[in-house]
Structure 1
Amino acid sequence: MFPMTTQDIKMNQTLASKQAAIVALSRWLEQDGYVKAGYEAGMLEREAQAATYLGQGIAIPHGTRECRHLVQKTGIKALHVPEGIDWDDGEKAYLILGIAASSGEHLALLRQLARVLSRDDLAETVRKAQHGEDIFNLLHEYPVSPLLAWHSDAIYIQQPAATMDELLHAAARRLQASAQELEQLQNNILHLGQGWWLSESVTTDIPRAAVLTTTGFEYRGQPVRALLALKARGRDHKKLLVQLADWLVTGKAAELTTLNNAQALQQALSRGPRPSGEPTSNQCLVTVRNHQGLHARPGALLVQAAKAFDADILVRNLDGDGHDVNAKSLMKLISLGVRPGHRLLFTATGPDSGAALARLQAVINEGLGELVAPLVPIAAASHPEPVGLLKGASASPGIAIGPLYVEAPVHFDYADVACDAVAEQRRFEQALQLADCHLADAAARAQGQAQEILGMHRELLKDPGLTENVLQRVRQGVSAPAAWWAAIDSAATRQASSDNSTLAERAADIRDIGRQVMAILCNTALPDTPEAPYIWVAEDIGPSDIVNMDTAKVLGLVTAGGGVSSHSAILARALDIPALVAMGGKVMALKTGTCAILNGDTGTLHVDPGEAVLSRALEVQLRERELAWQAWEQRMQPAITTDGYRLEVGANLGDAGQAAEAMAGGAEGVGLLRTEFAFMGHSQLPAIQQQIEEYQHVFSALGGRPLVARTLDAGGDKPLSYWLRPKEDNPFLGVRGIRLCMQQPELLETQLRALLAAAGDQPLRIMFPMVADWSEWRFGKEMFDRIQADIQAPDVQLGMMVEVPSAALNARQFAREADFFSIGTNDLTQYTLAADRGNGELAALSDGLHPAVLRLIAMTVEAAHAEGKWVGVCGELGADPQALPVLLGLGIDEVSVSPKRIPLVKARVRELSLAKCKQLAGRALEASCAGAVRILAGEKQ
């Protein structure tokens, strides 16, 4: 149980809503030093994802996995609300437990509560509680009387009896029952099945239990092989009945009566039934592979899957207490204490039992909404090597091996107040100027997305709202550093609480800027990094840190917080540095200098690995480097399959400066030019000549190769600072892409003119982003036709992105006019599966190889080819080695990937047979889930 006293319980509270309760608990936890600022947003986000109501009047709000780095120590706070709060689907919560836990400590609490919730009157008991001690006692395991357990001295083997009455009299003697209690035993007889009978009486005396097996006779036409006789008080007998029921539901209770001594029977009843050999036809055995076992959220997903079937489904943890429980009960599941690597035996009876077992096995193998860990034999897990395998979210692929450098958080020492407001204001303004100079120097050295991000940081420094907030505090007597950090903390906390996880991850940019200015204000040097190569571990690594770091020394990046869509993660991918994010605060306790293996493909950090593990990792890393080198050597060769099919491989570019590098890396053109770079770096809409010059830089590097340019895709997580829009509850379903241009047509007209003018006689392919409706396509095409009639560029095609399901479903109509389609698999996946691609908790679901996504791709290709048009893929799926053969089999004509992945993609294509890829694609379209497709793709093609 969590460390808790009655001081952590507030009785008789009055709260208006669920949100009010969560806010009150989060602030209480923060006030007492359990969590840092920002945890409140994580608790509210967790509740938005799935209600935390357990049952029987109890709710347990807690933070998301992404905010665990804000937990400073494990703790729990409780609010007692006798009037109740509407929590979920009409359920009222009378006791709300706010949990702060940085890893899996709250799982013990859930198992504890699962036992408490077996009390039939729990909700009413909680509601009527008067003192903190009452709640405290309830939160501890409800004890079963030690007198009512399976003791061998209460078990009697082969009790002589020829009738039920004789057996009951023998039981009454064993129970020391009175005449009245004997009468109750005779009147309360129940056949449990398989030769077992129950007889019970109520007593105010000492409760007792007895088990009597007999030679066998019949009573009421049923065999009698054993009798459980109880002299019970309250619910003390429930545990015995549950344990016996475990044997009954598995059809093995009759086996108990064949045991020939009391001790063997006592041990069998306490242990529960064990499977013999392989599962039967109505059973399946599956190993739990998600990284935290069956806590509340994955447990709820498993229950939902089970409830979809009429079959009665029981589940047993073979590596736990060995008892069957109802798989449709969340509390029963949690009580099993299932951890990663535990084996679950499901037993199903009913008309759809086979389908139920197959579905349950599939959802567990898919990870129940969490990342899936490699299978580890339970025997090996019970004798672990002296290593630590930590799990996080993969932000950038690849393997890094080397010593850790754990960066301690910088402590800024400053006074809270100042007597000279004018001097403090001058000090603050000078610090801003110096920080801006540092950023300008870094931006001059940077390229591409790094340059854009640093430009955005410079804009943040000049934000009038932020600076005015600081100056107002300074005028009130607050020191410059105190005022600055308060403003930064407030702004970052608001950003982190955004409903959109991608935007929330931008809070790291605000704190990054904050630290740089604080270092100047406090004259504090930021930490020196080691001279030797290292894996960098920090609470969060700001974009400016990555831009300024020595890439020759940094082998990999690990952060306690952050997310896969943060700017730091984006830069890590661009620099091809393996990176893990959202690891939790535990990584900050690691020791600098400890050897580790960072695997950005599996999302794991193996700390202090043994010699065998280290040797295998080095072999894998060496082999990957050899393959990468071979691919680089052959990068200029075309990507042709073993049976002669050529796939065009282009580059995804975020700015003009990357074009030459991409061509040198083997790109056959630019398959996606994100033209936002021409807009983001300015304080106002760039003039047409500015845009022409930007695009001409790209054309000059291509040497006649085709350029596919996506028109402005602002909005969502890419707002334009000079075009302010009202706040949208869900910007990814709001005004972005072509929709923004329809509201501001001058943006699109200027850009189209600039692109056509810059192209000259070189091949140009223009495509509109986020087209969902025919009217959006017609708007763009009519504008293009009008401008092209004026300019008459000789080699131009007009196409569209396929990023939303409606575009794929209506592809036949679009294909009549569009010259080509480019499928943005990142967005198509998130919109098809309703899974935010930036949400680490949905990483297992947000997989572009999901059959639903593949069917949309297949529909798009079929529609385009029917009209003689070509189809490309410009999402990250095109660089996925497992996805590539599936895409080839679906008929994709071109893929566009990041420049560093081009040689590897071309090398992968040369290993494949198109005929086999088509067979694979056909099987993939019939698969049940992305995991099944990946298994198919893992087979040798």
Structure 2
Amino acid sequence: MITMTPSDVRLGATLNSKEDAIRAAADILVQSDSIDPEYVDSMLARELTATTYLGNGVSIPHGRPQDAKHIKNTRVSILQIPQGVAWQDGQKAHLVFGIAAKSDEHIGLLRSLTGIVSDTALAQRLAQTNDPSEIIEAISGNVATAADAPAASSHFLGSEIELPFSNPRGFHLRPAGKFARAVQAYDGKVTLVVKSREIEADSPSRILSLGIAAGDSVRIRVEGDNETDTLSNLAALLEEINNEPQEEENVAAHSGKQWTGELESTQALSGTMAAPGLAIATAWKWSPVDLANRKRAGGDTAAETAALQSAITVARKQLLALTEGDLNAVQRDLFEAHASLVSDEKLREQAAAFIDAGDDALTAWTTTIQIQTAKLANLEDKRLAQRADDLRDVGQRVQKILLGIEVDPISEITEPVILVAEDLDPSQAAQLKADKIKGICLKNGSPNAHAAIVARSLGIPMLVAMGGNSNRIPIGETVILDASGSRVILSPSEGDLKSAQAAIQEVSIQRNQDWDQRFEPAILQDGHRVEVVANIGQTAEAASVIDSGAEGVGLLRTEFLFLDRDHAPDEEEQYNELRTMIESLQGLPMIVRTLDIGGDKPVSYLGLSEQDLSFLGLRGFRLSLARPDLATTQLRAIFRAAEHGPIRLMFPMIATPNDFLRAREMAEKVRREVGGQKVELGVMIEVPSAVTMAPELAELADFFSIGTNDLTQYALAVDRTHPLLARRADSLHPVVLRLIRDTVKAAHDKGKWVGVCGGLAADPLGALILTGLGIDELSMPPAIVPQVKALLRHEKLETLSALAEKALHQRDARAVRALRPSH
């Protein structure tokens, strides 16, 4: 338990803002020599990403986990503000507890504070008392109030499960809020039992009252409908809380160098980072045309049918024309997908049926889109559900054409701005230009939405899920968007602007240096060379490979030829696409992966069931065995295209040597039929069994390429598309790294090379560790190539080998991500 004395308490404070209160609470900790002054900024930064207001006038500001190095001694300061200070959503804080804790020592304090939060009279009395000992005694006395929770019932008749709690930060405010929100969505009753005490789990404060710390055992009890599913979901959520890295650690790992300038402005609004970076510009409000309740004069059935068909045709032409513009691959892919979607014959037929029933073209089309988007939005697979956004977007394009409304001119902005909006549709996001849209602030949105993907591809800083904060951004005034810090700074001073501009310039200089040196090989300080190549999934992306400085294509995903259509491509279409790509590479090698449909890449026209296409179903080469007609057609096209440039062939989801022997036999038969030249044949290592059999596979294959995304999910038994479990699928987990180490050894023992084409190769820390493990080739999105090359050139193989060895012996991915090379 944390010991407090009257010297830790400051009574009767009069303060003007939340920031003043946090600084005052922190100052008490500084004066007691419990924290370094730098920890004050950490406490302020934490408040920007997650509120620390508990309720009933009580707040608990504390710093970010990665700044714990600035904590000298675990201690708590108590700041009493009788008049209160505005904290969150109109609530005032009267008692501010500044916490400096290195691990979970403060959990007991949180437990005791719930006694104050749940007792209004006590909270009001402590907010006005003139005796510091009264506050201390109330807290000390209330530590025992958690034990006053009812004893766990011994006559429980519902479903229950008992799980260990292992998060070193304890079950603090954020996970308590997350768990309570999940419980609130359930109609039945959910309780938690810890140390024989039971509480209803629909309240964060009640959860905090249990004082759950690492090492405790937590029993989840569910009574009501769908008990089994609810229990399973809540157990998965508890496991996520156990295993998830701290939010700030996760941001730091993916957002690169953050701006650490000391702010003079005290006004900042928070949001969720969707794309990292820093920007300065005038805030500009963008509102799309509201199509609700729009009417259109209709004609007879023939006229309305013709009007709809004309609008669909115009929409398709617009979208195809947009693909020819100055776009990157992500933007171009999106417009091409929308062009395919608007041509969906099923949509047209359904709308035509409504027209036949008496609707005008606009009503018929709107109804059709509403029906189909509702079906998509209700799918359990969230990636498929997100297609509802695309369909809604395409639907609105046709609606505007029918109404004679010009498409929203978001691409016609002439001055650099920070765009403020409620949300961005996919096609609106795909029109963004980085030289004009310097940053984006959205009231709604998600880090996984198309708009965020486009923003990241363009390097545009972006905050989403700002809620009411987006309405407080002063339109027409200069603001600083610090997306990496999850905040927008209002009314920045000259000093703030200079500091931010200097940081932007520094990043720009480094990026330009990396770009200027992109054609230089990735040779480490001691002469060791790593090949850096690119992953692509569209014909148009091949040209960007050369421009990025990549030394070839480490993975061509051929699925793009099969998706967003109602029939499989024939041999000639596949050959022409492959030939175009290999010729545009101008002699650089290209690894072509055979069809990998299934899992998160379903194709309806194949007539396969959901079970067939599951992650444990007919994935990868298994589909080739089940549908040899598809495989033979594709292999013929590949061997024909190999006459025009250096192609290597790679088979996905190879689980055993027998799998590869069958693949090799199939490929050799087709090669002879077309009279093609021999090409190198490789195995994609993405299931644990392939790692176990890697010595035998290395005798048969010419090379290995490790797909870390699938290898991670199969090794950790985590569906990487599951909304609750996806964050656990971290490829830097020691389990995955050990599998990679074993694969490399097996290949090198047989004189074969090994590449990595999964997402881990594009992670800066991942690239360093993979190199230390002996990986010969790293494959990643073209835009990442210059950065990774530059990163490797500053390292020595000996240093990276030591880093990799350390990583292999860590407990989890979070510990690995905390490692850095020892220079």
Name the residue aligned to 1:403.
Answer: 282
Q: Deviations over 1:666-717 (max 9, x none)?
A: 1111111122344447664333333223222222233332211111223344
Structure 1 residue 910, shift from structure 2 partner = 0.6
Name the residue aligned to 1:882.
Answer: 765
Preserved CA contact (<8 Å) 1:649 1:667: yes
Distance 1:347 1:496, change over 3 A: closer
1:690 alignment partner, one of 562, 565, 573: 573
Q: Deviations over 1:23-58 (max 9, x none)?
A: xxxxxxxxxxxxxxxxxxxxxxxxxxxxxxxxxxxx
Name the residue aligned to 2:319.
Answer: 439
- Structure 1: which 5+ runs fail to align? 1-102, 112-241, 247-261, 276-283, 302-310, 314-325, 351-359, 376-380
Q: Deviations over 1:499-543 (max 9, x none)?
A: 112111121110110111121222333444432122334444333
Name the residue aligned to 1:621.
Answer: 504
Name the residue aligned to 2:220.
Answer: none
Name the residue aligned to 1:385.
Answer: 266
Q: Deviations over 1:443-466 (max 9, x none)?
A: 343674544443332332232332
Distance in 2 between residues matched to 1:821 and 1:487, nearest whole Å = 47
Name the residue aligned to 2:305.
Answer: 425
Distance in 1 between residues matched to 2:652 and 2:450, nearest whole Å = 22
2:356 alignment partner, one of 475, 478, 501: 475
Percent of aligned positions that are identical: 35
Q: TM-score, normalised by structure 2?
A: 0.68
Q: Deviations over 1:347-370 (max 9, x none)?
A: 9899xxxxxxxxx99977954789
Distance in 2 between residues matched to 1:265 and 1:756, nearest whole Å = 83
Distance in 2 between residues matched to 1:615 and 1:825, nearest whole Å = 42
Preserved CA contact (<8 Å) 2:272 2:464: no
Is 1:749 the counterpart of 2:632? The answer is yes
Distance in 1 between residues matched to 2:704 and 2:334, nearest whole Å = 29
Aligned amino acid, residue 379 of structure 2: S
Q: Deviations over 1:559-605 (max 9, x none)?
A: 55555554444444444444455555754664544555555656x24
Name the residue aligned to 2:398.
Answer: 517
- SS of residue in 1 equivalent to 2:700: coil
Distance in 1 between residues matched to 2:628 and 2:468, nearest whole Å = 48
Name the residue aligned to 1:608.
Answer: 490
1:929 alignment partner, one of 793, 812, 820: 812
Is 1:715 the counterpart of 2:598? The answer is yes
Name the residue aligned to 2:140.
Answer: 272
- SS of residue in 2 equivalent to 1:667: coil
Aligned amino acid, residue 863 of structure 1: A
Distance in 1 between residues matched to 2:434 and 2:758, nearest whole Å = 26
Preserved CA contact (<8 Å) 1:848 1:877: yes
Distance 1:865 1:464, change over 3 A: same
Preserved CA contact (<8 Å) 1:452 1:677: no
Name the residue aligned to 2:343.
Answer: 462
Name the residue aligned to 2:729.
Answer: 846
Aligned amino acid, residue 505 of structure 2: L
Give every structure 1 segment of 4 or more consecutive aligned residues whose post-TM-superposition deviation is greater than 6 Å. Answer: 103-109, 242-246, 262-265, 284-291, 298-301, 326-330, 336-339, 347-350, 360-365, 368-371
- SS of residue in 2 equivalent to 1:816: helix
Preserved CA contact (<8 Å) 1:564 1:840: no
Distance in 1 between residues matched to 2:542 and 2:135, nearest whole Å = 73
Distance in 2 between residues matched to 1:397 and 1:636, nearest whole Å = 26
- The aligned runs of 1:79-228 (5 Å cut-off) are none
Is 1:906 the counterpart of 2:774? The answer is no
- SS of residue in 2 equivalent to 1:647: strand
Distance in 2 between residues matched to 1:747 and 1:906, nearest whole Å = 38
Name the residue aligned to 2:778.
Answer: 895
Aligned amino acid, residue 294 of structure 1: A
Q: TM-score, normalised by structure 1?
A: 0.60
Distance in 1 between residues matched to 2:452 and 2:553, nearest whole Å = 23
Q: Deviations over 1:867-917 (max 9, x none)?
A: 221111112221222222211111111001111211111110011111111
Name the residue aligned to 2:179.
Answer: 297
Distance in 1 between residues matched to 2:572 and 2:771, nearest whole Å = 40
- Structure 2: which 5+ runs fail to align? 1-49, 59-110, 116-129, 144-165, 184-192, 218-237, 254-261
Aligned amino acid, residue 415 of structure 2: A
Q: Which has the larger radius of gyration?
A: 1
Distance in 2 between residues matched to 1:244 and 1:825, nearest whole Å = 44
Name the residue aligned to 1:641.
Answer: 524
Distance in 2 between residues matched to 1:455 and 1:349, nearest whole Å = 52
Aligned amino acid, residue 470 of structure 1: A
- SS of residue in 2 equivalent to 1:272: helix
Distance in 2 between residues matched to 1:574 and 1:928, nearest whole Å = 33
Aligned amino acid, residue 872 of structure 1: G
Distance 1:640 1:751, change over 3 A: same
- SS of residue in 2 equivalent to 1:771: coil
Distance 1:293 1:598, change over 3 A: farther
Name the residue aligned to 1:703.
Answer: 586
Distance 1:840 1:721, change over 3 A: closer
- The aligned runs of 1:490-569 (5 Å cut-off) are 490-529=371-410, 530-560=413-443, 563-569=446-452
Structure 1 residue 805, shift from structure 2 partner = 3.3
Name the residue aligned to 1:335.
Answer: 205
Equivalenced residues, count: 643
1:735 alignment partner, one of 618, 635, 649: 618
Distance in 2 between residues matched to 1:609 and 1:807, nearest whole Å = 57
Q: Which stretch shows the higher mean deviation, 290-299 or 746-755?
A: 290-299
Is 1:668 the counterpart of 2:551? The answer is yes
Aligned amino acid, residue 317 of structure 2: C
Distance in 2 between residues matched to 1:346 and 1:725, nearest whole Å = 47
Q: Deviations over 1:592-639 (max 9, x none)?
A: 44555555656x243427446655443333222111111122212111
Distance in 1 between residues matched to 2:341 and 2:114, nearest whole Å = 65
Name the residue aligned to 2:228.
Answer: none
Preserved CA contact (<8 Å) 2:271 2:464: no
**Root-mean-square deviation over aligned CA pairs:** 4.5
Structure 1 residue 863, shift from structure 2 partner = 1.9
- The aligned runs of 1:750-899 (5 Å cut-off) are 750-760=633-643, 762-790=645-673, 796-838=679-721, 844-899=727-782
